[in-house]
């Protein structure tokens, strides 16, 4: 194989293309060379504050002593007490669903063993050495608080529930509190 001057220039054109090439792939990218820590985030020169953000900022400045806004505080945070030395009791959360013979034997319903098909949440709290009269239960849509002289439980519930129609049962022989609440989730109308 013979390499002449024309083959060498053709090979050079393949390796380093001409500057007048129209392909974007041939041009080297200097984008990463221009990045600095100042490029991270929203550019302050291009951002224009809208009316809503300025009103929120003005409201926060008016209450300058507030550390958090009401939307930032979790439901049930008023029950958290780090200086309370009472023990946290053992508890268990079990999901319950109403099934019929069609669901079990024929498989005709749309029920599945998943928690998405469950209607109720049963929370059992073990309170050994406690009496029924000493137990205080407070239930909101997203938080359960159980207090006794020996125990304190502040439990954020995994699903929102109907706190107005809950049922609590004290099993004195087992010293166990059983709370049954109906869950109310956003897409329950699709599951039932």
- Between 173 and 21, name the one with better pLDDT: 173
Is the pTM for the entire model greater than 0.75? no
Return the pLDDT at 167.
93
177 within 8 A of 124, measured Cβ to Cβ: yes
Pick from 9-13, 74-78, 154-158 the range whose average pLDDT is largest. 154-158
- DSSP per position, 56-113: HHHHHHHTTT-SS-TTTSPTTGGG--TT--PBPPPEEEEEE----HIIIII--S---S
pLDDT in tens, 41-85: 666 555 455 555 555 555 555 556 777 777 776 666 565 666 778
* pLDDT, averaged across the chain: 77
Report whether pLDDT(114) > 80: no
Per-residue pLDDT band at 124 (split at 50, 70, 90): very high
User: Stretch 24-32: mean pLDDT, rounded?
Assistant: 57
Torsion angle, alpha carbons of 161, 166, 172, 173, to 10:
-60
Per-residue pLDDT band at 90 (split at 50, 70, 90): very high
User: Stretch 10-14: mean pLDDT, rounded?
Assistant: 79
Report whether pLDDT(110) > 90: no
Report whether pLDDT(103) > 80: no
Secondary structure of residue 120 in the 3-state scheme: strand
Instruction: Report the DSSP pairing between strands 176-182 and 120-126.
Output: antiparallel
CB pairs under 8 A, 24+ apart, for 27-33? none
What are the respective helix, strand and coil percentages of the chain, to the nearest 5?
30, 20, 50
Q: How far apart are CA 62 and CA 79, in angstroms?
A: 28
* Paired residues of 143 in beta bridges: 156
């Amino acid at each position: 194989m013979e390499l002449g001057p024309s083959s060498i220039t053709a090979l050079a054109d393949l390796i380093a293309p001409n500057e007048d090439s129209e392909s974007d792939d041939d041009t080297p990218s200097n984008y990463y060379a221009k990045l600095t820590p100042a490029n991270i985030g929203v550019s302050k020169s291009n951002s224009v504050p809208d009316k809503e953000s300025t009103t929120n900022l003005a409201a926060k400045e008016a209450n300058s002593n507030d550390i958090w806004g009401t939307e930032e505080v979790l439901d049930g945070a008023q029950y958290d007490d780090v200086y309370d030395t009472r023990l946290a009791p053992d508890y268990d959360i079990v999901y319950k669903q109403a099934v019929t013979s069609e669901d079990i034997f024929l498989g005709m319903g749309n029920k599945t063993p998943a928690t998405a098909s469950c209607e109720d949440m049963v929370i059992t709290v073990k309170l050994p050495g406690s009496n029924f009269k000493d137990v205080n239960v407070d239930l909101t849509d997203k938080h359960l608080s159980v207090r006794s002289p020996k125990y304190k439980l502040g439990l954020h519930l995994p699903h929102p529930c109907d706190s107005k129609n809950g049922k609590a049962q004290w099993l004195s022989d087992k010293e166990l509190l059983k709370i049954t609440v109906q869950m109310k989730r956003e897409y329950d109308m699709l599951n039932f």
